Amino acid sequence: MKSVAKPVLFLISILLLLMLEACGESGASTTDADADTDSDTDSDSDSDSDSDTDSDSDTDTDTDSDSDSDSDTDTDTDTDSDSDSDSDSDSDTDSDTDSDTDTDTDSDTDTDTDSDTDTDADSDADSDADTDTDADTEPEICEVLSTGLERVPSRVMILEDKSQSMRDDNKWTLAMDAIDSMIANFDADISFGLDLFNVSTGNSGINGAGMCAVGDAVILDTDLNNGTNVLTTLSEYSPSNATPLLLAMENFTDASYAPVFMDGSANSYLVIISDGMDTCGVDGVFDQNGSISSDQLTAVTETLRDEMGIQTIVIGFGDGIDPTQLNAIAAAGGTDFTTYFDAADGAELTDALNTIAETVAVNCTFEIGTIDNEDINLDYVNIYFDDQPVPRDDGCAVGIGWTWTDADRTTIEFCNYACGQLKTEDIEQLRVEIACTPADVQIV
């Protein structure tokens, strides 16, 4: 019995030691090894290895690469340590390591690098290389035709009232004296001529044949140094009969009536001196009360201006004038004198005539003369005020340059703007040159 008991005790001791060892190990190992050492003699090592590693690795990497450098590191570490100790010697160490690493790295790298490289390189390299190719190249000159042009004298046709009423207040004599004064001052600068309304040499009586007579040709055509002839002719007439103003003006709508005055090669002015209103109408029948309208006088004046190249200026002499008729003529006359001159007496008539003569004497028409050289092409003419070019302005259509006034191209006229320069600026020389090619001709 002794010999059997010893080995049995020895085995029991070893088993106890093994069990103690196993218990020690199960205390250290928290890895949910649930070491169910159900110590039964059967050594039923129920190793219920409940390894519940709930590793909820929620790496919510919200990389909102908005580069706004907003580094939002949202580290949500949800450590759910569930230590379920089942003390049935069943050592159920349920170590539920719910490692919920919600690393919401909301790496909102809002690096709003707003690469707004607004390189507004506004390469406003406004190189303004303004290559002003306006090389200011002077036109090529083939010939200088003239360095001094002759001014063409203006022409003044005196159209004087010779009606019976001009006897009143000695107006006929006062008018002759005023005309004499003007001629004495301007006879060398202006070509004067004379015509009358009416032209009868005696008193025709009421309704007589010569009461409203006008001529078939001008009494005295215009010419320089014509003053003596004008005054001599005037002295041969004396006032009588009626006032055929409209009919006398209509005569100048026919170029053959006064060929020199109306040849178009010079500035031509019709200067009317009247002491009353028209009393002959359109048919030449005397009417003491007048029978024509101001519209009729306007119409004939416009015809003279636009078709015949004649500008009209009016002087009312004495106190018996008709302002409406005279102003109708003045307004359409084409000059700066758009209302009639009101001359109450001889002195005022003298002043009016000299003012008119002084104004028209400085004109803008010049003579080039006849060119004998057949090689010269007058289409290539350039004209200069000193060194300033004046462009050709055909028919003065634009009103700034110069134009030919005659078909033979011997005379030129400077248009409004250029004429104004001649009258107001100190221009020393008018020069005419012939360009070599059409490209060198200066035209508006």
Q: pLDDT tens for the chain, 444 residues: list them.
A: 444 455 556 667 677 666 666 555 444 433 333 333 333 433 343 334 343 434 333 433 333 333 333 333 333 333 333 333 333 333 333 334 333 433 343 444 444 444 444 444 444 434 444 434 344 456 677 778 776 678 889 999 999 999 999 999 999 999 999 999 999 999 999 999 999 999 987 676 666 668 999 999 999 999 999 999 999 999 999 999 999 999 999 999 999 999 999 998 889 999 999 999 999 999 999 998 888 999 999 999 999 999 999 999 999 999 999 999 999 999 999 999 999 999 999 999 999 999 999 999 988 999 887 777 777 888 999 999 998 999 999 999 999 999 998 888 888 999 999 999 988 888 888 889 989 889 999 998
How many beta carbons lie within 10 A of that of residue 94, not counting itself? Answer: 15
Residues in the chain: 444
| Residue 158 to residue 170: CA distance in whole angstroms | 19
Say if residue 248 is exposed, middle or buried (CB neighbours under 10 Å; 0-12, 13-18, 19+).
Answer: buried
How many beta carbons lie within 10 A of that of residue 236, not counting itself? Answer: 8
| Residue 261 to residue 266: CA distance in whole angstroms | 8
Structure tokens of 230?
């004008």
E strand residue ranges, 117-228 = 141-146, 150-151, 154-161, 190-197, 220-223
| Per-residue model confidence (pLDDT) at position 371 | 73
Structure tokens of 244?
């055929």
| Per-residue model confidence (pLDDT) at position 369 | 72
Residue type, position 112, single letter = D
How many beta carbons lie within 10 A of that of residue 294, not counting itself? Answer: 17
| Per-residue model confidence (pLDDT) at position 276 | 93
| Per-residue model confidence (pLDDT) at position 117 | 40
Q: Report the candidate in 165, 151, 159, 196 with the shortest Cα–Cα distance to residue 313.
A: 159
Query: The pTM is what?
Result: 0.64
Q: Report the candidate in 328, 275, 321 with the shortest Cα–Cα distance to residue 302.
A: 328
